[in-house]
Structure 1
Amino acid sequence: MFDAVRNNKRIVQAFLALITLPFAFFGVDSYMRNSGAGNDVAVIGDLKITQQQFQQTLREQTERLRTQMGAQFDPKMLDNPEARKAILDDLINQRLLLVEAGKSRMFAGDEAVRQMIASVEAFKVDGKFSNERYEMALRGQGMTPQGFEAQLRQDLTMQQLAGALGQSGFVPRTVSDRLLALQTEKREIVEYRLNLDSYLDKVKLADDAAKKFYDENSQQFQTPEMLKAEYVVLSMETIGAQLTVSDAEVKAAYDSRKDRFQQPEERRASHILIASEKLGKDKAKAKAEELLAQIHKTPAAFAELAKKNSDDPGSASKGGDLGFFGRGMMVKPFEDSAFALKEGDISGVVESDFGFHIIKLTGIHAAKEKPLAEVRGEIEAELKKTAASRKFAEAAEAFSNTVYEQSDSLAPVAEKFKLTVKQTDWLGRQANPANGVMGNEKVIAALFSGDSIKNKRNTEAVEVAANTLVAARIADYKPTALQPFDGVKVGIETMLKRKEAQVLAAKDGAEKLEALKKGDDKLTWGAAKTVSRIDYKAVSPVEAQAVFRIETGKLPAYTGVELPGSGYALVKLNKVVAGDKMDEATRKGMLQQLNTMLAKEEVQSYLAALRSRYKVEINQAALEAKEK
């Protein structure tokens, strides 16, 4: 079912690169309902993206980036029109593609979802899928199995559509050969540099030029206001670290949740699959029965027959081995048969949606209860987290009240909640995520407020992350100040001279270029250099761009390019030669890049066509509205 995906990975990758946001857990049904009213963010034909759905996705993306980037995360990254529009575009694309996949009858089946889940390493224990680990991992992300599986099914459906699109795109050999030849083509050039420093002596500044620039651009010469702050952090983690859990509490929690620590029975089986779609139902069944007869005669030949005959590519090479699995991981007819066998038994021919199976049961892990010693750490962590959550909710209000009521010091609140008063280095008004909690925009705004600067009072308690509050106060402060003119005069004069020298160099270079184009070449050129589109290290990037824009019909040919801050460069192109023949690995790598570029263009064109077909309308006011 997923051959198109496996065979067209470049298109799939391009698709997933463009559809960057994971699906929200609305399920297919919610995509098809027209909930919401006049504040919908977008309308796609008969479908709507509500303000609630958009804000939910925005929150999820914010938390995802916060988790990935840690202290480097800046909330401003998503608090701008461009980021909000990008998120909305992803949501629109997702809905369009799901609807289109539905119309094309593309749908990921239960078996595909099960196989994908079973292959995730995070859900395995000792190399085997663990239902308990699976559910625990999802709980840690605030997900349910139903929600996760609905999301996964939609992702797999999207990949099917991507694979189908990939079958239509390719780069003709003549085109790819020409493009690769252009990449390796070599151009021999020589340069003549007009260095900016050579023109400095020709620059004559007016006596008052530096003072005039200083007066007109005084903001450039102000030292910014800075402050040092002391602060305290109240978080669920700090409260949790102060808590202890007794053995009795752990034992009670274990006894009350024993059903959770039951490890269900798992079975290991090998199978031979004869796919119905390959031979037709009747022929597939007949072949399966023939193989079963051979196995009854020679049971030891099962693995060899699986390698030669099974249509399941994932297990055939391993003699049909599927590893251990629990209930719910296989299609029902297969599961019912596997769990009815005794170890070593071989089933009859079992029919499923995929075809006809012959199943051999090779192992059984009986259901068992995990002992308290094995799960003690997990229970203690959960009890602490629960208690810390409750205590944090109780402490948050008291923390806020204390920093407000005793605003002349952080010592009282630190003593009350057993916190450490920390101190920053110099901070500016620009929030910097590298400063951790003290790089938070709201904290910085509170510190630089008029009341905080004037009266040196505590800031209010600011929520900088989920279950994390910060209060701060100014320990030292430096106001904005204008640097004296005498201290910056020399720097201004140097800057103005170099600016004028750059103008002179560019003017002289342009005149010399015109003379060269008319055949007047009297310059002493530098040593010859060879550059290609792949390797142009011999010149600056801006020169390389100019070199490859030169028309090569008549040589030598000339071009010139301004080098800001350095002067001007004249370039003479002497000859063009074919590049060296690529080794196979390099050729494949470049073709892959070329195909990826084409794939992205195909996907973009496809999405644009879908938008036109379904008439997408965006409510700009709703898009810009902030969550209340």
Structure 2
Amino acid sequence: MFEFVRSSKKIAQLILGLIALTFVFFGIDGYMRGGATGAVAKVDGVPITLEEFQNELRERQEILRVRMGRMFDAKMMNQPEIRRIILNEMIDQRLLFLEAQKNHVRASDDSIRRVIKGVSSFHEDGKFSDSRYDTFLQMQGKSKAEFEANLRRDLTLQQLSGTVGDSVIASKVLSERALAIHTETREVLEHTLSLDTFLPQVKLSAEATKQYYDAHPKEFEIPGQARVEYAVLSQDAVASRATVSEEEIKTWYESHKDNYKQSEERRASHILFRVEEESKKDKDKKRARAEALLEQVRKSPASFADLAKKYSDDPGSAQKGGDLGFFGREAMVKPFEDAAFALKEGEISGLVESDFGFHIIKLTGIRAERIKPLTEVRGEIETELKRNAAARSFAESAETFSNMVYEQSDSLKPVAEQFKLELKQTDWIGRKPGPAHGPLANEKLLKSLFSEDSVKSKRNTEAVEIAQNTLVSARILEHRPASLQPFEAVRSAIETQLKRKEALVLATRSGQEKQAELAKGSDLKLNWSAPKMVSYLDTRAVQAAAVPAIFKANAAKLPAYTGIELPDVGYVLYKIAKVFPAEDVTEQRRQAYLEQFNAAVGQEEMRAFMAALRARYKVEIDEAALLAKED
């Protein structure tokens, strides 16, 4: 139960994962409301407000922060191309919603119920639990009507977009031709014109380096830095100060005993004969070997562990005599589970076939279903009761925290003492968020921290919510202003950069000239590499960027030639010597590819459909508002 509450955000993402990926990250509460002034865009006259856009940016930022961990860099959300992508996706949603309304497309009540009832985290004892669903809604701060209305809108958009994409089926001829290209292999040789070879030919003017330095001062600027003190108020911090009585813990346990029910578990050992190839011959061969060993095991059950070590294709368990340890329902693939839970302790199964191959299973232990005692779960209950109490009181604590850092702005000590928080200090950090910033890697917080007033007065920043139920206030202890690196310190690096850039131009020009000569039949004495085999399914032999060029080249007459420019490398020529059509493509693999191809064609159709909607409904974008950073 408690893991369910803690992971409520993950459940929300899971629900959205059940519908189209296009709409996973985007709230649509504002589809039909006008909102505040200051529109970033208008779709058929209905604004996407600056507030809605900034909320969207923050939601995306939080998702990326969770997914990327220390690799996350908040500044990426301020890149113009990223902001434009997000805005265009919001516009696409509005367009789809308008079109859905126009065509009376609406997700049914049954589809809403199916999605909600299909979320396993809402289940208890194998059945949908209203109490778990209600707890999830409370943690999300939404009513049932509000949540289900939003879900209906998402499903409606999925229904409309799915109708467009699924209605497209590529012609058989086109599909088969695409399959042939995708599965064929080309033998190529490569010759690299390294830019290093052309460096001696590059002659920079005396003024070029200084001109570049003067024209690009930002590249050579040492940003302003500061040492910072900060305080973090989180719901967990509030929970740590909460108290829970022994009576409350006992009462909770007695009224929620079903939550601590531990289902039956079984322990088994197995011998696996793995089937990796799709041919019937290989499968029949493995089955025969497995049946022969099964007969041997039944004659001498005590030898099971030794036989597993010798014959099992499962390296993880073979070393342990085939032992898999204890496991519950849904931990193993279905055929294996069904067989294991049908055996009595000590029994050996017949041959069990799964996606992995053929198994011989021996049941070695059974743990009956039980309810965990209070002594075993007491700590878990206490922690969760404290967390629940903190969730109820956090809003009040957050308001007090915000007021104190503002009203007593010359120090963070009062608020730290009030909430028993640890004041932390950073090393020298800059204005751009990075891993060293820790909780301070928030664009809004850093903007406030490095504002002119904050730098000058060294006052507390406002309390900024950096994540759900987490507030931070910070103040500058010491500050170093931004400075420009002296020209002499960067002269050599600039010269190297400019020379390599010009050398790449020369290498590309020379490579393209050679490519043209080769295409005309000239016999150039080039130092070609050894032959390499390349296909769309296996691109390891060449640079990934070269694969499209290699397969785009007309191979009707061989040898054929193509080439690409590779930054920091030079120009690479490719000689296509032979083409090998795919052989023995299995029907299963063929059908899988054709499904993927039809899906890709459907995506292209969807893009065309969205372009048509943009032409049908008036779309206006305010570029200045789009690129404006959040205050």
Instruction: Tell me the TM-score normalized by structure 2.
Output: 0.64
Tell me whether 1:136 sits opposite 2:138 in the alignment.
no
Return the letter of the residue paired with 1:444. Answer: L
Residue 480 of structure 2 corresponds to: 478
Secondary structure at the aligned position of 1:552 is classed as coil
- Change over 3 Å in CA distance of 1:549–1:189 after alignment to 2: same
Residue 108 of structure 2 corresponds to: 108
Could you give the per-residue CA deviations for residues 484-532 of structure 1, whole angstroms, max 9, x where no partner exists?
4444344334334333433333343344334334433131342233323
User: Distance between the aligned counterparts of 1:37 and 1:417, measured in 2?
Assistant: 36
Residue 512 of structure 1 corresponds to: 514
Determine which of 556, 561, 568 is the counterpart of 1:565: 568
> Within 5 Å, which residues of 2 pair with 1:484-499?
484-499=486-501
Residue 433 of structure 2 corresponds to: 431
- Change over 3 Å in CA distance of 1:600–1:246 after alignment to 2: same
Deviation at 1:137, TM superposition (A): 1.4
- Change over 3 Å in CA distance of 1:189–1:474 after alignment to 2: same
- Change over 3 Å in CA distance of 1:162–1:37 after alignment to 2: closer
Return the letter of the residue paired with 1:554. Answer: K
The more displaced of 159-168 and 556-565 is: 159-168
Query: Is 2:26–2:90's contact at 8 Å kept on the other side of the alignment?
Result: no
Tell me whether 1:170 sits opposite 2:166 in the alignment.
no
Deviation at 1:598, TM superposition (A): 1.8
Determine which of 385, 390, 395 is the counterpart of 2:391: 385
Residue 86 of structure 1 corresponds to: 89
The more displaced of 63-72 and 381-390 is: 63-72
Secondary structure at the aligned position of 1:547 is classed as helix
Deviation at 1:172, TM superposition (A): 2.7
Deviation at 1:229, TM superposition (A): 1.1
Query: Is 1:101–1:161's contact at 8 Å kept on the other side of the alignment?
Result: no
User: Distance between the aligned counterparts of 2:414 and 2:240, measured in 1?
Assistant: 20
User: Distance between the aligned counterparts of 1:576 and 1:622, measured in 2?
Assistant: 49
Alignment size in residue pairs: 484
Return the letter of the residue paired with 1:474. Answer: I
- Change over 3 Å in CA distance of 1:582–1:397 after alignment to 2: same
Secondary structure at the aligned position of 2:429 is classed as coil
Q: Percent identity?
A: 37
User: Distance between the aligned counterparts of 1:492 and 1:380, measured in 2?
Assistant: 58
User: Distance between the aligned counterparts of 1:165 and 1:215, measured in 2?
Assistant: 53
User: Distance between the aligned counterparts of 1:559 and 1:377, measured in 2?
Assistant: 65
- Change over 3 Å in CA distance of 1:261–1:25 after alignment to 2: farther
- Change over 3 Å in CA distance of 1:66–1:434 after alignment to 2: farther
Return the letter of the residue paired with 1:410. Answer: L
- Change over 3 Å in CA distance of 1:447–1:556 after alignment to 2: same
User: Distance between the aligned counterparts of 2:57 and 2:487, measured in 1?
Assistant: 48
User: Distance between the aligned counterparts of 2:502 and 2:161, measured in 1?
Assistant: 56
Query: Is 2:92–2:610's contact at 8 Å kept on the other side of the alignment?
Result: no
Return the letter of the residue paired with 1:147. Answer: E
Query: Is 1:188–1:575's contact at 8 Å kept on the other side of the alignment?
Result: yes
Query: Is 2:77–2:83's contact at 8 Å kept on the other side of the alignment?
Result: yes
Deviation at 1:469, TM superposition (A): 3.8
Tell me whether 1:590 sits opposite 2:593 in the alignment.
yes
- Change over 3 Å in CA distance of 1:438–1:39 after alignment to 2: closer
> Within 5 Å, which residues of 2 pair with 1:15-34?
16-20=20-24, 24=28
Secondary structure at the aligned position of 1:228 is classed as strand
Return the letter of the residue paired with 1:393. Answer: E
Could you give the per-residue CA deviations for residues 40-81 of structure 1, whole angstroms, max 9, x where no partner exists?
96565xxx74668x9568747744752663474849738945
User: Distance between the aligned counterparts of 1:197 and 1:61, measured in 2?
Assistant: 43
Secondary structure at the aligned position of 1:536 is classed as coil
Deviation at 1:87, TM superposition (A): 1.3
User: Distance between the aligned counterparts of 1:38 and 1:482, measured in 2?
Assistant: 40
Deviation at 1:401, TM superposition (A): 0.8
User: Distance between the aligned counterparts of 2:38 and 2:454, measured in 1?
Assistant: 39
- Change over 3 Å in CA distance of 1:242–1:539 after alignment to 2: same
Deviation at 1:596, TM superposition (A): 1.2
> Within 5 Å, which residues of 2 pair with 1:499-538?
499-526=501-528, 527-538=530-541
Query: Is 2:18–2:115's contact at 8 Å kept on the other side of the alignment?
Result: no
Deviation at 1:178, TM superposition (A): 1.0
> Within 5 Å, which residues of 2 pair with 1:120-519?
120-155=119-154, 168-205=167-204, 210=209, 213-214=212-213, 217-245=216-244, 381-402=387-408, 404=409, 407=410, 409-432=411-434, 435-465=437-467, 468-519=470-521
- Change over 3 Å in CA distance of 1:181–1:522 after alignment to 2: same
Query: Is 2:230–2:472's contact at 8 Å kept on the other side of the alignment?
Result: yes
Return the letter of the residue paired with 2:617. Answer: V
Instruction: Tell me the TM-score normalized by structure 1.
Output: 0.64
User: Distance between the aligned counterparts of 2:214 and 2:119, measured in 1?
Assistant: 65
Deviation at 1:179, TM superposition (A): 0.8
Tell me whether 1:550 sits opposite 2:549 in the alignment.
no
Query: Is 1:62–1:75's contact at 8 Å kept on the other side of the alignment?
Result: no
Return the letter of the residue paired with 1:69. Answer: R
Tell me whether 1:616 sits opposite 2:612 in the alignment.
no
Could you give the per-residue CA deviations for residues 395-450 of structure 1, whole angstroms, max 9, x where no partner exists?
43133211x2xx1x433443344221101233212134773431122322233233
Q: CA RMSD in A?
A: 4.4
Deviation at 1:558, TM superposition (A): 3.1
Query: Is 2:193–2:571's contact at 8 Å kept on the other side of the alignment?
Result: yes
User: Distance between the aligned counterparts of 1:535 and 1:571, measured in 2?
Assistant: 17
- Change over 3 Å in CA distance of 1:393–1:221 after alignment to 2: closer
Query: Is 1:74–1:433's contact at 8 Å kept on the other side of the alignment?
Result: no
Secondary structure at the aligned position of 2:582 is classed as coil
Return the letter of the residue paired with 2:86. Answer: A
User: Distance between the aligned counterparts of 2:29 and 2:462, measured in 1?
Assistant: 36
Deviation at 1:463, TM superposition (A): 4.5
Residue 370 of structure 1 corresponds to: none
Secondary structure at the aligned position of 1:523 is classed as coil
Query: Is 1:199–1:501's contact at 8 Å kept on the other side of the alignment?
Result: yes
Return the letter of the residue paired with 1:492. Answer: I
Tell me whether 1:580 sits opposite 2:583 in the alignment.
yes
Residue 314 of structure 1 corresponds to: none
Deviation at 1:205, TM superposition (A): 4.7
Secondary structure at the aligned position of 1:554 is classed as coil
Determine which of 48, 65, 68 is the counterpart of 1:69: 65
Could you give the per-residue CA deviations for residues 320-350 of structure 1, whole angstroms, max 9, x where no partner exists?
xxxxxxxxxxxxxxxxxxxxxxxxxxxxxxx
Query: Is 2:175–2:594's contact at 8 Å kept on the other side of the alignment?
Result: yes
Provide structure 2 residue ranges, at least 5 long, that are not aligned to the other structure.
1-15, 259-377
Secondary structure at the aligned position of 1:471 is classed as strand
Return the letter of the residue paired with 1:16. Answer: A
Return the letter of the residue paired with 2:398. Answer: F
Structure having the higher Rg: 1
